[in-house]
Structure 1
């Protein structure tokens, strides 16, 4: 799962995820500016989708 993270990724992802009924807890490796960080508390939804893309918020 590739996640494109905006600056305020926590707020943006929470708002996105609240709109979906099916939630799956995942450990997602987020690469931002060449830095990979593991987010264990990130709740990720997926339904037969290999890649989930989030819009970059300015």
Structure 2
């Protein structure tokens, strides 16, 4: 009987840990995607701003 309780506890723990780890990996992937897209937007904005400054200096 005690073996059954220990086995069910172990299975429950493994399932919980796996689900937590999977959720953590999903959150990390979403965060990396967001940071990558934010960085691209920042670079684009910085490049456009630099071009506008250079055009203004030429005038």
Q: TM-score range by the shorter chain?
A: under 0.3
For the pair shown, which has the larger CA radius of gyration, 1 or 2? 2
Which TM-score applies when normalising by structure 1?
Answer: 0.23
Pick the structure with more strand per residue: 1
Structure with larger RCO (C-alpha < 8 A, sep 6+) = 1
